[in-house]
Structure 1
């Protein structure tokens, strides 16, 4: 009888006050879509008063381009995922998104419940929280233990200097190289090379100061990183072109990558994966051994758009999803990516995933993974990093510190 009364009350409420309909854009990733379809279906069955329609972010040059086009044309969704911190800063700057701080104590309770108090502080934009982080993929190094043993090493090197010594024994500068140092020439590749190295060398310091709008990586940590990159190319311990799948073919013994590669590698190169050892990025020799090594976080989150007529309804849904630890369990099962939580290594709900040594390595490094700088010119800045920093270092066009100085000057012009 009580269930019938509740059901009648919900129906009467919908008739009297109308049903709220929300549009949610998901990342163009089948695994993430599968997760969201599951939880949204559950929600829609329980909450007839607030119905959510899922759509994939429209095809375009990038998700960012599709979202900006939708905003400009007045066709933005109510909320969407797949937002990195730099893009969030751009959206906040134009007033396109709503701060979660608007939901007061309920938002703070969600942050505490999901154990992401420290993580979410790294996403703060001008004193406010515009993004609810979903996942955090630390960039870690994979090493071939079988190749290390061939040259007398039982453990991967920790520092630049140790890498140089290893390289003298392994790299021949023609068919064998120590590691992949540069990820590519696209603007986003800077996340997976220079920025990753800089976070490690600097103890997690931001490479750009968003408040002062100036470059930070011209400091001593940046100098150590550029000297390392330059030395690796100068001594032919790495190369511009390494061919297809060089890590799995034994051309290199180390590379940086995220957890998304685990399942693919296990299926494609099952004979190699038992030899893979995962470590944080290398650091300068004077980096304290007892200090955690920070790295770049390939991390994305959810935002609510200013054009949304029912932001409280959106938050109610998100609160329902992320207050339940089992939904983060489901997220791991579907996507294999670590949720943006600080208790992955200690919460019993995730203990079954910790038997997987690959996932465990990534989960344990989530607290030390730092998202991109909260700056509204991410693409321009990282294109400039490619032109004025990475390419000159790769092709040895000048002295490393001179290259760094020029890159800092050029990027500061963009920030001014």
Structure 2
């Protein structure tokens, strides 16, 4: 699961760009190990052992440096400022706009046709949508993730939904019945700290962020419908206000028999709640006007100052190969971005995992703007004021639009 840190302001980005322009163009790939060594920065543990097959096949040495997510953002900023970074770097989808605006990545558009695994048609459209910025191709999808509905099949069957709710109307009906079971019984744990979730709800109600309109995009009945839906779950006590029981305990004992999350929680439930084996499943998102979820994950990009472009692209091409992507899934449980990889029995024959593959066909990239995270966190603040503080929805959305305008103007 990728993590993000607060975005820096455009003025600071401008300063970084200036520093980068004045810095040395030396690539960190030029090291004592020799000219055929590339350096790769990643936030995914285990890559150093995984790439040994590539090294044997290609004769290229891969110097992998693993960076914790919580320090990766600052390390990348330092690399941009100094002009001294790796040859290949992993970038989370929500960081693309910020670092692309700072000229962190090489535009690899002219190289795409030279490598069989880099063709855009190999990947989900929404994943490709997060690799393109200002007419440039700044990376190749490595792995993807999205959100879907986890639910207790046995408990949902008791309220008439053995296969889970198909629509948001179904979700409301099922949730009311689940909450009626008695004291401390709820329907679902809604994400309260995930800045992507409000966008997902809004997309499903027909809303889209328009970069040209900016903050005016939020002056929309569709967006308001999504906020009202979110509030309904707290207003009617369908979702608990406050933390309550430990997350997986509540799912295991049935007091919160539904939640939205990503594919990593498949393994977590198996490990943390083995007593409910066979009593839960995963389902694509409920439908309003559509059932779009978010497209997340990470890309592999060539650092702008790298002098090892050919070797770097050969490595990325290998990482994008469907067989490699299946092996990486088996190693780290991170979902393949290459669509052909999903035909492998390892994924196709696993009903829980293949549901995420189905959801990936109905996804949307997050707004590729540097201010995205700040907007998402501001929406979470608005929801907190409405759900917990009883603030008026119309007034709160007016105030949010004013704040969004300030954020986007910086």
Given the alignment, which residue of 302, 310, 313 partners 1:312? 310
Aligned to 2:221: 220
Displacement of 1:263 in angstroms is 1.5
> CA–CA distance in 2 between the matches of 1:383 and 1:413?
14
Aligned to 1:123: 131
Alpha-carbon contact 2:141-2:298 (below 8 Å) kept:
yes
- Does residue 176 of structure 1 match 2:185? yes
118 and 94 in structure 1: CA distance in 2 versus 1, 3 angstrom threshold: closer
> CA–CA distance in 1 between the matches of 2:214 and 2:168?
30
Instruction: Number of aligned residue pairs: give it.
Output: 372
Aligned to 2:384: 391
Q: Structure 2: any 5+ residue segments left out of the alignment?
A: 1-33
Displacement of 1:280 in angstroms is 2.3
- Does residue 333 of structure 1 match 2:327? no
Aligned to 1:166: 174
Displacement of 1:339 in angstroms is 0.8
1:261-410 matches, cutoff 5 A: 261-284=265-288, 287=289, 293-322=291-320, 324-345=321-342, 347=343, 350-387=344-381, 389-410=382-403
> CA–CA distance in 1 between the matches of 2:165 and 2:183?
22
Alpha-carbon contact 2:325-2:341 (below 8 Å) kept:
no
**SS in structure 2 opposite 1:23?**
strand
> CA–CA distance in 2 between the matches of 1:156 and 1:255?
12
> CA–CA distance in 2 between the matches of 1:104 and 1:344?
19
> CA–CA distance in 2 between the matches of 1:103 and 1:168?
54
Aligned to 2:161: 153
Alpha-carbon contact 2:143-2:336 (below 8 Å) kept:
yes
Alpha-carbon contact 1:115-1:342 (below 8 Å) kept:
yes
> CA–CA distance in 1 between the matches of 2:318 and 2:160?
53
> CA–CA distance in 1 between the matches of 2:69 and 2:325?
29
Instruction: Describe the superposition over 1:168-220 as per-residue Cα deviations: whole angstroms up to 9, x where unpaired.
Output: 32215840111112333xxxx112x2122223332xx64x3345544534423
Displacement of 1:244 in angstroms is 0.6
- Does residue 66 of structure 1 match 2:75? yes
Q: Structure 1: any 5+ residue segments left out of the alignment?
A: 1-17
> CA–CA distance in 2 between the matches of 1:122 and 1:74?
24
> CA–CA distance in 2 between the matches of 1:283 and 1:366?
15
Alpha-carbon contact 1:136-1:369 (below 8 Å) kept:
no
- Does residue 40 of structure 1 match 2:39? no
Aligned to 1:20: 36
314 and 384 in structure 1: CA distance in 2 versus 1, 3 angstrom threshold: same
> CA–CA distance in 1 between the matches of 2:271 and 2:260?
19
Given the alignment, which residue of 48, 51, 68 partners 2:61? 51
Structure 1 residue ranges (4+ consecutive) displaced by more than 6 angstroms after TM superposition: none
TM-score normalized by the length of structure 1: 0.81
Displacement of 1:86 in angstroms is 3.2
Displacement of 1:382 in angstroms is 2.4
Instruction: Describe the superposition over 1:134-185 as per-residue Cα deviations: whole angstroms up to 9, x where unpaired.
Output: 111120011111111233433322333333322332215840111112333x
Alpha-carbon contact 2:200-2:294 (below 8 Å) kept:
yes
> CA–CA distance in 2 between the matches of 1:344 and 1:395?
44
Alpha-carbon contact 1:19-1:51 (below 8 Å) kept:
no
**SS in structure 2 opposite 1:312?**
helix
99 and 249 in structure 1: CA distance in 2 versus 1, 3 angstrom threshold: farther
129 and 273 in structure 1: CA distance in 2 versus 1, 3 angstrom threshold: farther
Instruction: Describe the superposition over 1:270-294 as per-residue Cα deviations: whole angstroms up to 9, x where unpaired.
Output: 222412132222333xx3xxxx621
> CA–CA distance in 1 between the matches of 2:277 and 2:318?
38
154 and 113 in structure 1: CA distance in 2 versus 1, 3 angstrom threshold: closer
